Amino acid sequence: MSVGVWGLAAWFPSYLSSGKHLNMTMTKNFLLLAYFVGLVVNLVLGRWIDRTQKRGLLGFLGFLFNAALLLIVGFVPAAPGVLLLIILIGVHYGISQPAGQGFIDRISVPARVGKESGVMNCIGNVVASIGPTLMGWLIGVAHGGYQYAFLFLVVVFLVSSLASGLLMRQGY
């Protein structure tokens, strides 16, 4: 889940400026809007997860939605493309935290949840740091195009959806 978070955070600004030809002021404003949408989605979905305990379902559908949305982004003009990216980031940030962190709350026992969350986040962030680096390399391979980097994120989202689906089948 963290690969998508770090990949989007690292490459979204340069994609907006070079891929969608926005100036830096507009890019900053769109980033602020994307993170605000993510915060709202996170709060709404976090509350929904607390009530329904459907972490697996949220992860499965949310990451599948993100994969489809990211595939569409590259084929639409600038204005709708930017709007779709803002929705994508908002949804991704909104589902990553409650779904990902929510799994550890259900799997762990209260006495160890802090330690196990720390270990999960440490490993997740170390592994996720490879994502932006690989995306940068893929952008270089595509001579400045973002199609391979976005395709990599689509695969990451599909793997996250599959993992969430497996956990959903186990009752999470």
CA–CA separation, 171 vs 129, rounded Å? 30
Helix, strand, coil share of the chain (percent; to 5): 85, 0, 15
**Structural domains in the chain plus CATH codes:** 2-169 (1.20.1250.20)
- pTM for this structure? 0.83
Residue 157 has pLDDT above 80, yes or no: yes
pLDDT in tens, 88-142: 777 777 777 777 777 777 778 888 888 888 888 888 889 888 999 999 999 999 9
Which residues 6+ apart lie within 8 Å of 92 measured at CB? 4, 5, 8, 38, 62, 66, 157
Token pair, residue 144, equals 């400045």
CB 12 within 8 A of CB 107: no
pLDDT in tens, 23-32: 888 888 888 8
